[in-house]
Amino acid sequence: MIITMLEIAKLELRARRRWRARDGIFVVLLSILAVTTTVYSLSLGVRIDRGIYTSNLKLGDPLFRVSKDPDVTVVRGGVILKGTEKSLAAFDELRNYLKRVYDEWLWQRYGYKAFPVMVRLVRVKTKVSEGVRFVKNSTTFPKVSGKGAVEKSVKRESEGKMAEIAPQNVTGAPSKSDFLTPDQLRPPSLLDKILYAFGFVIPIYFVVQIYSSSTAEDKLKRRFEVLFTALSPEEVLFGKMLPYAVASVLLSTIALAILGKSPIYEVYIFPVILFLLALNTFTAMISRSYREMTFLTIVISIFVTVYLFIPAVFSEFTFGGVSPITRILNGDLKLWSYVVSTFQFWSMAVVLFYLSINSNEVMYSQRDPLEKIVELARQTVRDYPTLFLAVFLSIPFVFVIEFFTLSLIFMFEYAVYVVILLIAIVEEFFKGLLIYSAVRNGCNGYVSAIVASIGFFLGEKAVLFAFLPVKGLTYLPVPLIAHTLASLLFVLTLRFGFKRALAVSSAFHAVYDGVIIWSLLR
Amino acid sequence: MESLTIALKDLRSLRRERTIGLVLALLLFVASFSSLVVTGITLLYSPTGYANARVGLVGNARIFETIVHPVVYEDLAPALRDLTNGKLDAVVVFNENVSSVNYITVYVPKEDVKAIKAILFLRKKLEEYQNVLRRIRGIPTLRIVAYENGRVVEVPEGYYLKFKFVYVMLIPLLALTTAVVSSAFVIDSVCEEFEKNTVEVLLTAVDLSDVVIGKVTASLILSTTLTVFWMIMLTLNGIEIHDPLSTFLATLSVCLFMTSLALLSVSYEPVREKAQILFSLAVISFIVVMFSFPSSPLGALARASSGSNSFVIPHLILSLSSLILTLFVSEKRLSKAIGLDL
């Protein structure tokens, strides 16, 4: 099998030879242009906010432009606002600008005397048991003109005092350039982390994009049809993705090195690579056209990107641990952390590979992707053990979808009810789909409902324990009963059609969740 | 007329495949997720969020104590222990000196969200402290008062963050998502005709220019629909779009530029794999440059949506010109490609 896979991989690499030298030159030139413009633009920063506010006077701040109906009207003795959100924001920015200008004026007129307070920040990692580590972070805080001279006035004896009181494990002695005036103190920008983390993943996206195009083309030109008659789908698909997996690993390892991270962190990126390859294989298999595939890929890629990066921004919260990027940024190589942040990528990759390999029958059908998924579920769930396993393995998908559902919670006043309902629908859909598949393959509906509920319950609790360690097993039977009752209701009403059965079981589930939340909040 | 027929055929297939629903769901998600981020930013930077920060002081600083009301420690070690255990939000280390510069070391949590709370609190308090020391030294202090309807109003520090997130990040990102989706649509629909050889069938009935213009028209109808959708979603979500028409035109201008890039990529060679890669690489440069230049269509979009300046006509003329030029080039290149294939 391995030799066949390597042969397929060789064929895939040979297929890339249709990229002529001229194509390569174009790609290299565009890549150089992309890197150069990115570096240049990063040095300039985001500047589309220039002229976003208006004032009655011409100010030195490029954020402001003169207008007859200004957001802020500067008069002797104060600033007149319009009462709008924008006017308040404009005043906040104007105040910052005036402080900067005033500080410069003070410096020219009074020198050191006008700057009696200089601050140095030391960042301390909190809540660690193995001892306190101190990390100095002075680069985050920008400096303004006129400050250099103030820094020069740092007195030797003051540094001496600082060295006396500073603990031994502070990295390096305090430097003059670390001291800032109070208004120069800036809280850390959460978005910087996203930009930094993008470096790990962007190279992979490009490689996966080539893989996805190649897979779609093989399908469109019916090459898979021919290949699958001679070789097993596993050999063809694994062989095909092998060069892309190797290229992604190499590129992400280089990206890690450039961003100053050890190559060992590749262990966190590898499951993401596998998942993206599996996802693109699956979307290629179930899509009916390039358009459909592109739309599916764009939408899913954006969701995956959000799932990877947003938790990394809020790394100190419990949910931050769901993303492997959080672990890389935090330098966390503990086994449990690894399991918590990668299990969903490993298991989703396995499931998607399995479904792709078995998608031969639905690949060329003109049914929509959802109908194809239903058909694949029917092919997969043949008896009670496969039903149990399928439900158990559906948990990572449910978990990821529910993560996004929670984002709706602040959208409008009663969004929490919508979120409860959506979560119920997602859970009942996955359970219902698999029960429905088992029933269509001759399994008893009620037994299937109980098996699916146990499988779902165990999977759900395993995930919950990973993130929210629950002491005691007192309340465990309650959700199990709820899952079982909802599934039994689904089976009972299945004779009226899948959608109606799903509506009934979801409504029951939502009411149950609502009551539990209400009783907890009471 | 033939172009419109081709455009409608492509749009019908989009509706039949129900992929449009997926994109609308994506935009809905982006809009709703932004609410989450806006709420987070508002909570994080609101004065009530950091008003109760607990500060430890190691050293002798009487004036500072009257302003910050810190917990005073004899040594640094117990203060840092309390910081790492979460009992304090910051530890300030210095001995007050009224006549010369006070070099203050502040220990704050490494974790960003905790650090924001501590730094925002201390910045405010240290500015107050600086003003007191300046007054003692006979140096004038700056006081900026805001009035609204003749009454003094307090504007918290960091108030601008939410505003900027919406008009400088969120709306441009929604416009870019729309443009990327509609450009990818052009690449796919043109490449599919070539790779399935259906373009030859089409050319028996219509000209190549009709095919290309039809594909672009479909893409523009798609981007128009998506733009109107997210503008309505934002408005329902309580985010005001100050000049809807100019916002729409600025977004359209971004889409026209990106569609031109997509057409150029396709006309290089109508093979999806190559066109997608070339387009992706070109788009990176395009996006980063647009964010860095205020005169770009994204800058115009930020200003139009925030109600600062609604002059978007030059962007529209430029983007339309670029599209017309690209249409001309792509027709030449694609007809050459067909000639070679035939």
CB A93 within 8 A of CB B79: no
Q: Is the dihedral of CA A7, A10, A12, A18 positive or negative?
A: negative
Q: Which residues of B touch A114 (CB under 8 A)?
A: 134, 137, 139
User: Do both B306 and B180 map to the same domain?
Assistant: yes
Q: In which element (H, E) is residue A237 found?
A: helix A233-258
Last residue in a domain, options B126, B153, B180: B153
Nearest to B114 by CA among B49, B36, B48: B49
pLDDT at B276: 84
pLDDT at B110: 79
User: Do both B15 and B68 map to the same domain?
Assistant: no
Query: Confidence band (pLDDT; 50, 70, 90) for A166?
Result: very low
Residue B285 forms contact with A (CB below 8 Å): yes
Q: How many CB atoms lie within 10 A of CB B21?
A: 13
pLDDT at A274: 94
User: Do both B25 and B80 map to the same domain?
Assistant: no
Tell which wins on pLDDT, A449 or A3: A449
Residue B63 forms contact with A (CB below 8 Å): no
Interchain contact, B148 vs A221, CB within 8 Å = no
Dihedral-angle region of residue A208 (phi above 0 means left; psi in -120 to 50 means alpha; beta otherwise): alpha
Least confident of A446-460, A506-520, B251-265: A506-520
Q: How far apart are CA A375 and CA A386, in angstroms?
A: 15
Q: What is the pLDDT of residues B218-271, one digit of tens each?
A: 999 999 999 999 899 888 877 889 999 999 999 999 999 999 999 999 998 888
Backbone dihedral angles phi then psi of residue B150, each to the nearest 5 degrees: 80, -5
User: Do both B149 and B65 map to the same domain?
Assistant: yes
Q: What is the pLDDT of residues B165-202, one digit of tens each?
A: 889 988 998 899 899 888 988 998 898 888 878 888 88
Interchain contact, A187 vs B272, CB within 8 Å = no
Q: How many CB atoms lie within 10 A of CB B176?
A: 21
User: Do both B163 and B140 map to the same domain?
Assistant: no
Q: Which residues of B touch A124 (CB under 8 A)?
A: 80, 83-84, 107-110
Percent of chain A surpassing pLDDT 70: 81
Q: How far apart are CA B12 and CA A57, in angstroms?
A: 53
Backbone dihedral angles phi then psi of residue A331, each to the nearest 5 degrees: 65, 40
Query: Confidence band (pLDDT; 50, 70, 90) for A435?
Result: very high
Complex ipTM, two decimals? Answer: 0.84
Show the CA angle centred on residue B118, arms to residues B116 and B121, nearest 5°.
100
Q: How far apart are CA B203 and CA B211, in angstroms?
A: 8
CB A389 within 8 A of CB A395: no
Q: Is A246 strand, coil or helix? A: helix
Query: Confidence band (pLDDT; 50, 70, 90) for A153?
Result: very low
Interchain contact, A124 vs B110, CB within 8 Å = yes
For residue A171, count CB atoms less than 10 angstroms from its CB and return exposed for 0-12, middle for 13-18, buried for 19 or more: exposed
Q: Is the dihedral of CA B262, B267, B271, B274 positive or negative?
A: negative
Interchain contact, A291 vs B180, CB within 8 Å = no
Let me know how long chain B is.
342
Q: Does residue B49 have a pLDDT over 70?
A: no
Tell me which chain B residue has its CA closest to the CA of residue A66: B308
Give, to the nearest 10 degrees, the angle between helix B313-341 and helix B208-236. Answer: 140
Furthest-apart CA atoms within chain A: distance in Å: 90
CB A107 within 8 A of CB A115: yes
CATH code (residue B109)? 3.40.190
Q: In which element (H, E) is residue A343 found?
A: helix A335-357
Residue B149 forms contact with A (CB below 8 Å): yes
Q: Are strands A134-136 and A117-124 parallel, antiparallel or unpaired?
A: antiparallel
Tell which wins on pLDDT, A3 or B40: A3
Residue B141 forms contact with A (CB below 8 Å): no
Chain A to chain B, count of Cβ pairs less than 8 Å apart? Answer: 361
CB B210 within 8 A of CB B327: no
Q: How far apart are CA B147 and CA B190, in angstroms?
A: 58
Q: How far apart are CA A173 and CA A131, in angstroms?
A: 20
User: Do both B80 and B199 map to the same domain?
Assistant: no
Q: What residues does B104 pair with on adjacent strands? A: A119
Nearest to B19 by CA among B168, B184, B134, B169: B184
Q: Does residue A445 have a pLDDT over 60?
A: yes
Percent of chain A surpassing pLDDT 90: 25
Q: Does residue A413 have a pLDDT over 80?
A: no
Q: Does residue A471 have a pLDDT over 60?
A: no
User: Do both B176 and B296 map to the same domain?
Assistant: yes
Query: Region B45-49: what's the mean pLDDT?
Result: 61
Q: Which residues of B touch A306 (CB under 8 A)?
A: 33
Q: Is B113 strand, coil or helix? A: helix
Q: Which two three-digit tokens encode residue A421?
A: 């309902």
Backbone dihedral angles phi then psi of residue B3, each to the nearest 5 degrees: -60, -40
pLDDT at B50: 63
Interchain contact, A51 vs B120, CB within 8 Å = no
pLDDT at A412: 63
CB A460 within 8 A of CB A401: no
Query: What is the span of the domain harbouring residue B252?
Result: 2-40+159-341
Q: Which residues of A touch B116 (CB under 8 A)?
A: 187-188
Q: How far apart are CA B163 and CA A84, in angstroms?
A: 11
Interchain contact, B108 vs A123, CB within 8 Å = yes
pLDDT at A197: 64
| Chain A closest-CA separation from residue B341 CA (Å) | 15
Show the CA angle centred on residue B334, arms to residues B332 and B336, nearest 5°.
70
Q: Specify the pTM.
A: 0.77
CB B113 within 8 A of CB B53: no
Average pLDDT of chain B is 86
Nearest to A324 by CA among A352, A294, A357, A349: A349
Q: Which residues of A touch B282 (CB under 8 A)?
A: 30, 33-34
Chosen for mutation from B12, B14, B101, B226 (greatest number of chain A CBs closer than 10 Å) is B101
Query: Region A34-40: what's the mean pLDDT?
Result: 86
Least confident of A75-89, A320-334, B124-138, B313-327: A320-334
Least confident of A265-279, A323-337, A409-423, B114-128: A409-423
User: Do both B164 and B148 map to the same domain?
Assistant: no
User: Do both B167 and B213 map to the same domain?
Assistant: yes
Number of structural domains chain B divides into: 2
Q: Are strands B71-73 and B90-93 parallel, antiparallel or unpaired?
A: unpaired
Q: Which two three-digit tokens encode residue A249?
A: 């690993």
Place of tokens 């670029």: B322
Give, to the nearest 10 degrees, the angle between helix B19-45 and helix B208-236. Answer: 40
Q: Which two three-digit tokens encode residue A216?
A: 């779609």
Place of tokens 């479904």: A355
Q: Which of A92-106, A478-492, B109-123 has the highest mean pLDDT?
A: A92-106
pLDDT at B260: 95
- Alpha helices (H) in chain B, listed in sequence order: 2-16, 19-45, 47-50, 62-68, 76-84, 112-136, 160-164, 171-195, 198-205, 208-236, 244-268, 272-292, 297-306, 313-341
CB B51 within 8 A of CB B117: no
DSSP codes joined into one string, A391-411: HHHHHHHHHHHHHHHGGGGGT
Q: Is the dihedral of CA A262, A265, A270, A272 positive or negative?
A: negative
User: Do both B238 and B324 map to the same domain?
Assistant: yes
User: Do both B120 and B168 map to the same domain?
Assistant: no
Interchain contact, A118 vs B102, CB within 8 Å = yes
The shortest CB-CB distance from A316 to any of B102, B114, B309 is to B114
Nearest to A468 by CA among A346, A343, A317: A317
Last residue in a domain, options B153, B174, B192: B153
User: Do both B226 and B280 map to the same domain?
Assistant: yes
Query: Confidence band (pLDDT; 50, 70, 90) for A160?
Result: very low
Q: Is A51 strand, coil or helix? A: coil
pLDDT at B323: 94
Last residue in a domain, options B132, B153, B174: B153
Adjacency order of strands within the sheet including A72-75: A64-66, A53-55, A72-75, A78-81, B146-148, B151-153
Q: What is the pLDDT of residues A354-400, one digit of tens each?
A: 999 888 877 777 777 888 888 888 888 988 999 999 998 898 888 88
